[in-house]
Structure 1
Amino acid sequence: MATDRIPRKVGVVGYGRLGQSLVSRLLAQGSELGLELVFVWNRNPGHMVGSVPPALQLQDLDTLEGRHPDLVIEVAHPKIIHESGAQILRHADLLVGSPSALADQTTEQQLLEASHRWGHAVFVARGALWGTEDINRLDALGGLQSLRVTMATHPDGFRLEGPLAAAPVGGSRTVLYEGPVRGLCPLAPRNSNTMAAAALAAPSLGFDSVVGVLVADLSLTDMHVVDVELTGPPGPTGRSFAVHTHRENPAQPGAVTGSATVAAFWRSLLGAGSPPSGRGA
């Protein structure tokens, strides 16, 4: 349905698979949804040639102010949030597509301070996390005692750093990491975003108490599997509330982002791109 309100101007930072999908949909559907794409930036500008109109290609991220965005969507790499997140918030709301960046406490504090100073909002995309709102509500009511997120996929789908990059994969299924999400994020910045989203949805536990498990599974050549397990405190009978969800997300061999995650991110974009009176990602 066409809208008669002033379009929200949107910029996209990152032009990998997810960025390409978002840009394509914004160009095709943005006007009817009250969204106007005003720039696309990519670390390698050559990847935009032939698919992003030249007028929309932003060569220098530091010049985004000239495009007057209302919302900037980051779908590049956590480094962008570390290096430019606070600066982006001087000029626009920010939808963080790499929440693993927020495991760094300095970065998180910088974004909070910039948001308050400049009056712009920070949104976090839920990505592949199933049940985000339920986790958040349970946590707010004091009913969350433990939260564990396991992501398993073929090792070709991992982009690991530090000691994890050299970790041997033995047998058909190998646990590469099990521990606090904060410790995993810098080692697997592109493969821990689901876990980071869980830590942000459950602030009473946060990055230090939500457990992340990263599993290399040679049988999962075309999917990412995410298991979310949570428990509440014991009730009057001594038994605890418990939930276990199992999500199988189809993915191209070697892909970091699963197919269903792309659709979920579009919904987060629409939530963040709504008018200030009723928005939320």
Structure 2
Amino acid sequence: MAPNSSPRRVGVLGFGRLGQSLVSHLLSQGPDLGLELVFVWNRNPDRMAGLVPPSLQLQNLAELGERHPDLVVEVAHPKITQEFGGGILQHADLLVGSPSALADASTEQQLLEASGRWGHSVFVARGALWGTEDIARLDAAGGLQSLRVTMSTHPAGFRLEGPLAQVSCSAPRTVLYEGPVRGLCPLAPRNSNTMAAAALAAPSLGFDGVIGVLVADLSLADMHVVEVELRGPPGPSGQSFAVRTRRENPAQPGAVTGSATVTAFWRSVLGCCQLPSRPGIQLC
């Protein structure tokens, strides 16, 4: 921020582990970075008691615009972006912390239309996706043929819905889902965000072409493992360019969000605050 510029006003939706960390950073470091926390909203406002100053607690999401935010950060649940994202963009840029919301095609279209109408950006946090820029550059150059993202952790770290919630995870390693990311996001909305970020980084494949694999592994009680495998089309010799990465992210037992992801998200907030508002969806 330039010395004489006004602070960038930030609102936070969600007060789970990620939201609490973000609020703490904004209160302690924000003023020195040109950032001002203007509200915190949570579906259960009781969780904010004693932790968020009453003046910063937003009780009614419909009154968000009265706080005049420049950036609203969603770290609550994909349904918040699906239900309120378009309205938020009327007032501010939106940083989506639950990109699995965009697996719903109507939500993606609604956000794009609202972004274009009001001139505000839709930022998407890369979260635990390693090599985001490399994937995006390869895809833009036409060099990406396949992309597969595998998320493995202890079953206590999953928050599953629908038929996946009924699957038994008594075996040492259980593959819960393998298929297009679009089909996984509604069943594991809080555990598929890395895969959703990959689908957005590789629009030539998108939610229908990027393959997501969700694995319950009883040996990973304190860790989330994300493996990314990509391959390009065969070259003149018949060989294909290929990359495989493995990211081991320490996590508290039963936690949805790993420790390194919390740090990465704060960097995403700082990153998008340095970018100009412009219509469209962009990873940060």
Q: TM-score range by the shorter chain?
A: over 0.9
| In 1, Cα distance between equivalents of 2:153 and 2:188 | 13
Matched residues in 2 for 1:75 and 1:169: separation? Answer: 28
Correspondence 1:222 to 2:228: no
Q: Provide closer, same or farther for how the CA distance between residues 189 and 42 of structure 1 changes in structure 2, counting only shifts above 3 A.
A: same
The residue identity in structure 2 corresponding to 1:55 is S
Map 1:1-281 onto structure 2 (within 5 A): 3-274=3-274, 276=276, 281=284
In the aligned structure 1, how far is the partner of 2:208 from the partner of 2:168?
A: 26
Distance verdict in 2 for CA 1:196–1:177, change over 3 Å: same
Deviations 1:238-268 (A, max 9, x none): 1000000000000000000000000110011
**Inter-partner Cα distance in structure 2 for 1:275 and 1:132:** 17
Q: Report the Cα distance in structure 2 between the residues aligned to 1:21 and 1:67, rounded to whole angstroms.
A: 21
The amino acid that maps onto 1:176 is L
Provide the C-alpha distance between the structure 2 equivalents of 1:202 and 1:275, rounded to a whole number of angstroms.
Answer: 21
Contact kept in structure 1, 2:201 and 2:283, CA below 8 Å: no
Letter of the 1:130 partner, please give it.
W
Once the two structures are TM-superposed, the CA of residue 280 in structure 1 deviates from its matched residue by 7.0
Read off the aligned partner of 1:152 and give its amino acid letter.
S
Deviation of 1:2 (Å): 8.4
Cα distance, 1:169 vs. partner? 1.4
Paired AA for residue 4 in structure 1:
N
Cα separation, 2, equivalents of 1:153 and 1:210: 20
Report the CA distance between 1:170 and its aligned residue.
3.7
CA contact (8 A) 1:177 1:215 kept: yes
Mean Cα deviation higher: 270-279 or 171-180: 270-279
CA distance in 1, matches of 2:231, 2:188: 26
Once the two structures are overlaid, the 10-residue window that deviates more, 34-43 or 269-278, is 269-278
Separation in 1 of the partners of 2:148 and 2:139? Answer: 14
* Matched-pair identity in %: 78
Structure 1 residue ranges, 4+ long, deviating more than 3 angstroms after superposition = 277-280
Aligned residues: 281
Are the aligned partners of 1:3 and 1:32 in contact in 2 as well (CA < 8 Å)? no
Q: Does the CA contact (< 8 Å) of 2:119 and 2:277 recur in 1?
A: no
Per the normalisation by structure 1, the TM-score is 0.98
1:3 deviates by: 3.3
- What code does the residue aligned with 1:87 have? G
Alpha-carbon offset, residue 277 of structure 1: 8.1
Provide the C-alpha distance between the structure 2 equivalents of 1:18 and 1:260, rounded to a whole number of angstroms.
Answer: 11
Q: Hey, what's the Cα distance between the residues in 1 that align with 2:275 and 2:57?
A: 25
Measured against aligned partners, the alpha-carbon deviations of 1:63-103 in whole angstroms (never above 9, x if no partner) come to 00000000000000001011100010010000000000000
Alpha-carbon distance in 2 for matches of 1:164, 1:122: 30
Indicate the SS of the match to 1:171: coil
Q: What's the secondary structure of 2:168's corresponding residue? A: coil
Distance 1:154 1:170 in 2: 11
Secondary structure of 2:29's counterpart equals helix
Task: Give the root-mean-square deviation of aligned CA atoms.
Answer: 1.5
Distance in 1 between residues matched to 2:277 and 2:31, nearest whole Å: 19
Following TM superposition, by how much is the alpha carbon of 1:4 offset from its aligned partner in structure 2, in angstroms?
Answer: 2.8
Residue identity opposite 1:254 in structure 2: G
Residue identity opposite 1:85 in structure 2: G
Deviations, residues 91-147 of structure 1 (Å, cap 9, x unaligned) = 000000000000000000000000000110000000000000000000000000000
Distance in 1 (CA, whole Å) between partners of 2:236 and 2:103 is 36
CA distance in 2, matches of 1:275, 1:162: 38
CA distance in 2, matches of 1:218, 1:249: 16
Q: Residue 151 of structure 1 contacts residue 224 of structure 1 at CA under 8 Å; is this kept in 2?
A: yes
Return 5+ residue gaps in structure 2 as ranges: none
**Maintained 8 Å contact 1:271/1:280:** no
